[in-house]
Amino acid sequence: MDKTLFSDGLNGLDTKNKDAVTLYNEISLLAMKCAGDISETKGRRNAYYLSMEFLIGRSFYNNLMELGVLEETDKFLSGKGLDIRMFEEIEDAALGNGGLGRLAACFLDSAAGLGLPLHGYGIRYKYGLFKQAFKNGFQEELPDDWQRFGDPWSIRREDEKRLIEFADMKVYAVPYDMPVFGKRINRLRLFQAEGDGEAQKISEYLYPADDTKEGKILRLRQEYFFSAAALGELTEHFFKQYGKRFEKFPEYNVIQLNDTHPVICTAEFIRLLTVKYKFSFSSALDIAKRTFNYTNHTILPEALECWDEEYMRAVLPEIADIIIRISVYADREFQSLGCDKEQAKEMAIYKGGKFYMANLAVYIAGKVNGVAELHTEILKNDLFKTVNRFYPEKLQNKTNGITHRRWLELCNKELSELLDRTLNNNWRGDISRLNELNGFNGETADAFIEVKQTKKRQLLNYIKDREGVEIPENFLVFAQVKRLHEYKRQLMTAFAVLEVYYGVKSGKYHDLPPCAFIFGAKSAPSYRRAKTIIKFINEIAAKINSDVQCAERLKVVFVQNYNVSYAEKIVAGTDVSLQVSTAGLEASGTGNMKFMMNGAVTCGTMDGANIEIVERAGKENNYIFGATVEELARLKAEGYSPSEYLDNPERCKAVESLIDGTFSDGGTGNFKELYESLINEDNYFVLYDLESYVKTIIQVCTDCKDKKTFAAKQLANVANSAFFSSDRTIKQYAQDIWKI
């Protein structure tokens, strides 16, 4: 970064009569000009992260921070009577929908920060994840036209566009490069689809509705489009440098597949090597096996991709043939390893006219990793148990992480400054030094209480402005923010809140300290039950917030359009992080880590990375409740009958409120459907865990009355959060998988 050039440019900037969007573009472009070029990649080993999603959020503040000019820009604007927060009107780049996409963004940040050559490949969607608004408590989806503010952080590379061919159309993949700043400048390359009519549609929407054949085929096109473009250019660059010696390709390139979404490119790679460079199928397959690795992010059956041969054949016939051929090789290999029929079938890539993409991924990948210890155990013992038996070296764990630059330094300046004052080392340069905070004294605890109060005040003011809900700052703040899904059990929190509410009204919880519950989540547009849960929580919020009897005791708010930027405010201002998924179903969670690093205690189940969080911060400093994986396995075996657990009046009243007329679902019948699914199946054990959940919430509330002791628990979480920096995760990937 040429800081003098930047300073000169900044000081020469005329801010008069310019709106936020204009200034945003001018300052961003200036920073881009002064930042320097993307670091050299030639002649060395590079790692590539292929992902359908990169949930970047806002680039402006983060990039200026990474470039070391955020403070200067802040001062400059103040001098002109402007507030740097004016750029909060520039909306996030939401090219992802949740954890998997945000993880990809954190990884790029950490790799650049550590000086490791990791580059991203993805899609430049015209519209990112929809903007959410509530109308009458129902979720409404609005298009996310993020480019209308301009896109100063990308550079279009027209000269490097390439043609991607489908059976029925040809489309250009035009690269847009976003530099990722750190010790190195790495590159995130997003491809935009261009061509006639239909072609453009490929990069139009993140998650086209895939409940129709057309929708499914469009998603397939998206997957092939960007991953084939990536492999096309990687092989071409290699050829230019080293000629046809592709057996050396894996020495220079290692590719990480972010879930199964880009896995189709393994077949594309084999196609390129056999058709264009005349390799035999078996050597091409061998080279592929030494190039690719695969990360699994979910064990939910509905999220494991599987393509109908018919669809694949319609648009990618050659790829369909190649996958079938890989499948034949795989079968042969399984047999030679001594698999029986059953085992071979379980691992089969092609069966019953369908392609099983996770099986393809696992077969080709050198390493397959889970994203938290428990998740990896489940992969080893359950989803991929046969793989693990015949390829014991393949499966490994890489517990997720979050970049502490965005999720501590940027979103919590106050806490960062407290750490600067308290630690005699440069924790910003080496987050592992945060551990030295353990053994903090009373003074630090007092200072922390003040920081938390400041961040809470900022958050509650923001919520008042945005949502119109006023929460006094003496309230204890609980938050559950994440995608809306039944397994994450926002519904269980809703029932718990209602139970607390009824208990407060009846006098059962007469000395409960005041508390607020913040929800934030988007539901997939076609996920009916998830949308019903949003409506239900909004109904509960309206009822509780308008009950004057509870005005000083309880508040509930479901914030609209929860996204990365909202998360930055919520994680900093929250006291209690709710992580209550059904044990075994949340692969890792990363929100849990963000809250921990900002000093919230976790109230959660023994699931995903929660287990590792409490292992490090101490069970005594967090609130663990609910059934474990083992307990649920027993329960399932014995036969679970949900209605048995409705044995207390407040709980009954809370659950029955879905059908007894307390709340209205606008005549859709959705509340009744939800109620019946609970009483009859309760696949996610909401009713089973509800009792211990409410008890735990009450315990948290009781404990928080002793401010100092509670702050000490919160600080213990900060002190032990270094492990969850994605710097640690990336170092592990670099060492164990990528060898960079």
Catalytic residue, chosen from 375, 452, 483, 522, is 483
Residue with smaller CB distance to ligand 26Q, 358 or 704: 358
Residue with smaller CB distance to ligand 26Q, 57 or 99: 99
Q: How many CB atoms lie within 10 A of CB 399?
A: 24
> What is the x/- site pattern for ligand 26Q, positions 167-206, by CB under 6 A?
----------------------------------------
Catalytic residue, chosen from 187, 522, 535, 594, is 594
Q: How far is the CB of 467 from ligand 26Q (least distance, A)?
A: 25
Q: Which residue among 298, 403, 538, 582 contacts ligand 26Q (CB under 6 A)?
A: 298
Question: Would you count residue 371 as binding ligand 26Q (CB under 6 A)?
Answer: yes
590 is catalytic: yes
Q: Which residue among 57, 128, 589, 642 contacts ligand 26Q (CB under 6 A)?
A: 589
How far is the CA of 357 from the CAs of 232, 306, 310, 354, in angstroms? 21, 6, 15, 9
Question: Would you count residue 400 as binding ligand 26Q (CB under 6 A)?
Answer: yes
- Stretch of residues binding ligand 26Q (CB under 6 A), selected from 94-102, 181-189, 515-523, 555-563: 94-102
Element (H, E) at 315: helix 309-315
488 is catalytic: yes
Q: How far is the CB of 270 from ligand 26Q (least distance, A)?
A: 23
Catalytic residue, chosen from 271, 380, 482, 522, is 482
636 is catalytic: no
8 A C-beta contact, residue 678 and residue 670: no
8 A C-beta contact, residue 33 and residue 67: no
Q: How far is the CB of 590 from ligand 26Q (least distance, A)?
A: 5
594 is catalytic: yes
Question: Would you count residue 262 as binding ligand 26Q (CB under 6 A)?
Answer: no
Question: What span, in angstroms and rounded, lies between the C-alpha atoms of 121 and 188?
Answer: 6
Q: How far is the CB of 100 from ligand 26Q (least distance, A)?
A: 3
- Stretch of residues binding ligand 26Q (CB under 6 A), selected from 381-389, 588-596, 618-626, 649-657: 588-596
Question: Would you count residue 100 as binding ligand 26Q (CB under 6 A)?
Answer: yes
The site for ligand 26Q, by CB under 6 A, has a size of: 17
Beta bridge partners of 556: 517
Nearest of 301, 214, 305 to residue 263 by alpha carbon: 305
Element (H, E) at 593: helix 591-597
Catalytic residue, chosen from 590, 602, 605, 696, is 590
Question: Would you count residue 303 as binding ligand 26Q (CB under 6 A)?
Answer: yes
Question: Would you count residue 305 as binding ligand 26Q (CB under 6 A)?
Answer: yes
Q: What would the two tokens of residue 159 be?
A: 């000269």
> What is the x/- site pattern for ligand 26Q, positions 209-228, by CB under 6 A?
-x------------------
Catalytic residue, chosen from 126, 488, 522, 651, is 488
How far is the CA of 492 from the CAs of 24, 351, 459, 489, in angstroms? 42, 39, 24, 5
Question: Would you count residue 489 as binding ligand 26Q (CB under 6 A)?
Answer: no
Question: Would you count residue 297 as binding ligand 26Q (CB under 6 A)?
Answer: yes
Name the residue whose CB lies closest to ligand 26Q: 99
Nearest of 43, 48, 42 to residue 253 by alpha carbon: 48
Q: Which residue among 588, 621, 696, 725 contacts ligand 26Q (CB under 6 A)?
A: 588
Question: What span, in angstroms and rounded, lies between the C-alpha atoms of 239 and 99?
Answer: 36
8 A C-beta contact, residue 448 and residue 711: yes
> What is the x/- site pattern for ligand 26Q, positions 595-634, by CB under 6 A?
-------------x--------------------------
Q: How far is the CB of 89 from ligand 26Q (least distance, A)?
A: 28
Q: How far is the CB of 608 from ligand 26Q (least distance, A)?
A: 6
Question: Would you count residue 103 as binding ligand 26Q (CB under 6 A)?
Answer: yes
Instruction: Show contacts with ligand 26Q in window 568-587 (CB under 6 A).
Output: 586-587
Question: What span, in angstroms and rounded, lies between the C-alpha atoms of 611 and 248?
Answer: 41
Question: What span, in angstroms and rounded, lies between the C-alpha atoms of 563 and 464?
Answer: 17
Q: Which residue stretches of 627-669 are H helix?
A: 629-638, 649-656
Q: How far is the CB of 607 from ligand 26Q (least distance, A)?
A: 9
297 is catalytic: yes
Nearest of 558, 672, 487, 519 to residue 138 by alpha carbon: 558
- Stretch of residues binding ligand 26Q (CB under 6 A), selected from 98-106, 126-134, 135-143, 725-733: 98-106
Class of residue 320 by CB neighbours under 10 A (exposed 0-12, middle 13-18, buried 19+): buried
Long-range CB pairs of 130-133 (<8 Å, 24+ gap) are 130/522, 130/525, 131/91, 131/561, 132/522, 132/560, 132/561, 132/562, 133/560, 133/561
Q: What would the two tokens of residue 710 be?
A: 């509670």
Give phi and psi for 460, each to the nearest 5.
-70, -35
Rounded to the nearest 10 degrees, what angle do helices 649-656 and 670-680 cross at? Answer: 140
617's CB contacts (< 8 A; 6+ apart) are 596, 602, 716, 717, 719, 720, 721
Q: What would the two tokens of residue 19 be?
A: 């709106």
Question: Would you count residue 590 as binding ligand 26Q (CB under 6 A)?
Answer: yes
485 is catalytic: no
What is the binding site for ligand 26Q (CB under 6 A)?
98-100, 103, 210, 297-298, 303, 305, 371, 400, 586-590, 608
Enumerate the active-site residues.
297, 482-483, 488, 590, 594
